[in-house]
Amino acid sequence: MTFPSLTAYQADALTEVVNVSMGTSVSELSELFNCHVSMTPPTLNVAKVTDIFSYIGDPDEETYTILSRFFGEMNGNFIFLFRPTKQDEQWRRFLQGQDALHTLKQIADTVCQAFTASFAAFTNLTVQKDHSQAAFDLLGAIVEYGFMEHTLLSDDLLFSQGTFSLNDFSLTGNLLFFPSPESLSLLFEKLGVNDDNH
Amino acid sequence: MTTIKQIGISDAFVTNGEVTLKTSGLGSCVAVILYDKRAQVGGMAHIMLPETPQNLHLSNISNNPNKYCDTGIEHLYERMLQAGADKHRLIGALLGGAEMFPFQNSSILHIGKRNIEESLRILASYQIPVVFQETGGSKGRTVSFDAVSGELSLYTTGETPIVFTI
């Protein structure tokens, strides 16, 4: 499958599933940390590998990152890029605390768990979340790892990108969702929007 | 005035002018630099994968030579000669090839190491000496190279930037 052949129906259906799954994740997050979490609806993008950073950001930016994989009937990666909403004292204290990476990982795990559960329920696919890994590194180095496996199958990358903010932590999380190209046929079949139908 | 040419993923550029070649956020990918100091011709490729798949012609993947070590270095070498470099004077530098995340059940396990090994093998086949190598580890890198001065700058996450003239 090449991504540019994605039909409008397929793009709409996938956007809807991702939107619902992210909404569920944000609710879980709000409950876990007992705070208000705001979110911008995720967008669905198809980009050439060579153009990917014009969508995501400066590859030289150093960010706190969590990478989490999911597998089963569908596989791929989640990448969380955590940034401060403002470089204030609250953010500085948070990062200096011993539990900063642990907290970020907890946020990422909560979102991934809820996202994959919602995604699986919506699509009737068996999908499980793998363990996650944390890093503080260059955005370019992190993100290329997240899609490198997919470039074995395609030059184009399909990904969604959404943002949520935890104001109590002065924290914004950018969630990138990279489904594997080989998973998409089955996904669209389950959603009833495979090529034969539309 | 020197201009900066940003080299993206699966991209390459050769210059014989006042251009600084830069590639940002190298993780498991490698940056291959070729240089002819006397001719002041320099080139850089940001390569993602070790080798071209054998069934490439059957797939939907385009044949971007800069994506793979085997075709990427060959392509860079040919462009260097076209720009006026002498093959007997070529020297090389290799950077990147980190293992960013140690996921075990992955088809890209040890991809950084494989990129390094394949690049060194191909550079050796062209008898190009590697005069600077900063590879492996688990941190991202940003590299820039000035083809006039031969000055190579390297930033590795969390470390002090270094400058080296090749």
Model pLDDT for residues B107-120, shown as the tens digit of each residue: 677 899 999 999 99
Pick from A50, A62, A151: which is nearest to B49 by CB?
A151
Pick from A49, A58, A141: which is nearest to B26 by CB?
A141
Given a contact cutoff of 8 angstroms between Cβ atoms, the answer to whether A136 and A62 are in contact is yes
Q: Give the model's pLDDT for residue B101.
A: 84
Residue B106 binned pLDDT confidence (cut-offs 50, 70, 90): low
Q: State the sign of the Cα–Cα–Cα–Cα dihedral A101, A57, A79, A172.
A: positive
Helix (H, G, I), strand (E, B) or coil at A21: helix
Helix (H, G, I), strand (E, B) or coil at B156: strand
Q: Give the model's pLDDT for residue A2.
A: 52
> What is the DSSP annotation of B106-141?
-TTTTHHHHHHHHHHHHHHHTT--EEEEEE-SSS-E
pTM metric for this prediction: 0.89
The string over A2-20, giving b where at least 16 C-beta atoms fall within 10 Å of a residue's C-beta and e elsewhere, is ebeebeebbeebbeebbbe
Is there a contact between B8 and A155 if contact means CB atoms under 8 Å apart?
A: no
Helix (H, G, I), strand (E, B) or coil at A62: strand
Is there a contact between B10 and A49 if contact means CB atoms under 8 Å apart?
A: yes
Helices A8-33 & A100-123 angle (0-180, nearest 10): 140
Model pLDDT for residues A134-145, shown as the tens digit of each residue: 888 999 999 998
Residue B124 binned pLDDT confidence (cut-offs 50, 70, 90): very high
H or E stretch covering A109: helix A100-123
Is there a contact between A137 and B139 if contact means CB atoms under 8 Å apart?
A: yes
Q: Give the model's pLDDT for residue A4.
A: 57
Residues of A contacting chain B (CB within 8 angstroms): 1-2, 49-53, 58-60, 62, 67, 69, 71, 130, 133, 135-145, 148-149, 151-155
Given a contact cutoff of 8 angstroms between Cβ atoms, the answer to whether B30 and B47 are in contact is yes
Structure-token pair, residue A106: 């907890």
The string over A159-198, giving b where at least 16 C-beta atoms fall within 10 Å of a residue's C-beta and e elsewhere, is bbbbbbbbeebbbbbbbbbbbbbebbeebbebbebbeeee
The string over A104-123, giving b where at least 16 C-beta atoms fall within 10 Å of a residue's C-beta and e elsewhere, is bbbbbbbbbbbbbbbbbebb
